[in-house]
Chain A
C-alpha cells in the first residue's frame, strides 16, 4: 500500500555536515560500487565510455558558492534521498511499488511492481529518484538497507556505504527519531536544517550548515592586483607595445 504507515518512531537517516564535506566524491563512488550489486541492482550506465554518458546514481555531490555580507565560500553539497516523513513519491505511486517502512522509516521501491510511470520522480522536490531506462523502473537510495542490517558484516561496517567511505566524517548515520541518539544531538548542537521545509515533506536527513567565519582566519582575501596607471615616455611606450 502506498498510503503512509503509522510510524514506530524509529527514523533512520543521514546527517550531512556541509562544513567538513570537501567534495571528494568518495561517497558517490562508494554508493555506486555497493548499490550496483545491492538491493536495487544494477545501477545501469548508458554509453559509459561514449560522448553522452548517462546512468543511475543515488548520491550526487554539487558545489556551490555561498556569498553573504560576511564573505563567500565554496560549499560542497551531497544530494540523495532524504527518506521524508511525508514522502509524496510514495503516495503518488499507482502500483504500490513505492513504500515507506513502518519499522525504520526507510523509503524503498519494489522493482517487481514498478511500471516506470516516473510520477514519483516528479513528486520528489529533491531529485532523489532516477529512472533506469535500461530496466524500465525507477531507482533510489535504499539507505544501504542491505548493509545496515547485514549480520555478515562486522558491526562497525553496518552503516551506509557513503558513510563508511567519507574520509572527513562529514556523513553520519543513525536514528533521528531518538532525541538521545548521537545524530540527533549533533543536529541539535549544530543547528541542523531541513531542505525545502516550506514544501512540508519533513525530510528525515538533516544538513549541518557551515560554521560561522572565525576571527582567526584572514577576514579578507589578498588584495587584488591594481591596474597600472597609463604612463607616458619610454615606459609608456613599452606598456603599449607589450599590450598589443
Chain B
C-alpha cells in the first residue's frame, strides 16, 4: 500500500496526542498530576495540537477536502466515519477539562468527570482508527488481530513518553511514570515483533488462482492491460519500502523502541537535568521511529489487487 505521508503523520500524531490526552484527563482530573498552569497549558496544548495537526493532515489525503464534513454522516457502517464523529465528540469533554484544569486550576468534581470522558473519547477514537485498517479484508497484514491492539499500545506508549518528558521538564517526574513508559516501550516492541512474525508466516488463501477463477496449476501474468503504472499500482502496488523492509525494521526497532527504552532507563538512574534531557530526547526519537513504523505498516501491506498484476 502506498504510504501517503499525510496518513502516516496523521495516525502517528493523533495516536500520540490521544494517548497524552487520555493520561492527562485521568491523572490531571484525579490530581495525581498537580494543577500547574504552565504544565497544564503546555500538556493540553501539545495533546490537542498533535490531534488537530493530525486531523488537518489527514484532510490533505482527500481529493475534495471541502466536502470533508460529509464524512460525519455514515457512522452506522463506516469506521472512517465513526473515527470522524468520535474525534469531534472527544473535543467537547477535552475542551471542558482543559478549561477547568488549565485556566481554573481545578481538579476533581466536574473537571475529573470531563477528564475521564475525554480519556474514554481518546481510547474510542484510537480504536476506530485501528478498525479502519483491521476491517479491510483485501489486506491480510492489516486484517489481523494484531492491528487494533497495536494502535492502542502505540498510542499509550507514545503518550506516556510524552507525558514523562513534560513532567520531567517541570521537575515533577515520577519514577512510576518512568517505569510505566519503559514497560510500555517494551510491550510495544514485543507487539511489533509478534506482528512481524505473524505477517511473515501468513498463509493467505487468496492467490492468482482464486483471483482469476482458474482452478489448479499455476496462473502467470503474461501481459498487463496497460503499459504504464495506473492508479491501482501506484496506490496498492507500492513496492519501494518492501525492498528495504529488513533495514527499515531495524531502524524502527532502534528509534521507536530500543533507544527510547534505554534513554528512559538511564533517566531512571540520573539526576534532574540529565533526566529531563534524556526524557525529551526519548520522546523525539520515538516519534521519528513511529513515523518509520507507520510507513512500513503501509509499505509492507499487500493488497489482493496486486495478484492480478503478478506481483
- Report which residue of A55, A68, A126, A196 has the largest number of chain B beta carbons within 10 angstroms of its beta carbon: A196
Residues of chain B lying within 8 A (CB to CB) of residue A199? 137-138, 206, 304
Complex contact B213–A18 (CB within 8 A): yes
Do A64 and B76 touch across chains, with their CB atoms under 8 A apart?
A: no
In the assembled complex, the CB of B243 is this many whole angstroms from the nearest CB of chain A, namely 22
Q: A127-B308, A131-B235 are in contact. Are A88 and B63 (CB under 8 A)?
A: no
Interface members, chain B 204-228 (any A CB < 8 Å): 205-206, 208, 210-228
Query: Number of contacts between A and B (CB, 8 Å)?
Result: 203
- Distance in Å: Cβ of A99 to nearest Cβ of chain B: 10
Closest residue of chain A to B74 (Cβ to Cβ) is A2
B138 touching A66, Cβ below 8 Å: no
Cβ contact within 8 Å between A122 and B76: no
For A74, give its contact among B210, B211, B212, B222 (CB under 8 Å): B222
Output the least CB separation between A57 and chain B (Å): 8
Question: B74, A195: Cβ atoms under 8 Å?
Answer: no
Chain A residue at minimal CB-CB distance from B205: A198
A94 B220 Cβ-Cβ under 8 A: no
Which residues of chain A in 89-116 are interfacial with respect to chain B, using CB atoms and an 8 Å cutoff?
A: 90-97, 113-116
Cα separation A18 to B215 with both chains bound (whole Å): 13
Contacts of A41 in B (CB 8 A): none
A133 interface hit (Cβ, 8 Å): yes
A123 is an interface residue with CB less than 8 A from chain B = yes
Verify A207–B62 contact, CB threshold 8 A. no
Question: With A18-B213, A125-B304, A125-B305 known to touch, is A94 a contact of B138 (CB < 8 Å)?
Answer: no
**Which A residues lie within 8 Å of B309 (CB)?**
62
- Chain B: interface residue count, which band? 35 or more
A-chain residues with CB within 8 Å of residue B220 when the two chains form the complex? 64-67
B210 touches A64 (CB 8 A): no
Are the C-beta atoms of A118 and B217 separated by less than 8 Å?
A: no
What distance in Å separates the Cβ of B310 from its nearest Cβ neighbour in chain A?
Answer: 8
The minimal Cβ–Cβ distance linking B61 to chain A, given in whole angstroms, is: 7
Contact B63 A136 (CB under 8 A): yes
B64 at the interface (CB under 8 A from A): yes
- Distance from B11 Cβ to chain A, minimum over Cβ atoms (Å): 14
B136 at the interface (CB under 8 A from A): yes
12 contacts between A and B (CB under 8 A): A54-B228, A63-B222, A64-B220, A93-B78, A97-B70, A119-B78, A121-B231, A122-B236, A125-B304, A193-B215, A196-B210, A207-B213
Known: A77-B308, A200-B137. 14 other contacts (CB 8 A): A55-B230, A62-B221, A75-B214, A92-B77, A92-B136, A93-B78, A94-B70, A94-B72, A94-B74, A115-B70, A116-B63, A122-B139, A123-B137, A193-B213
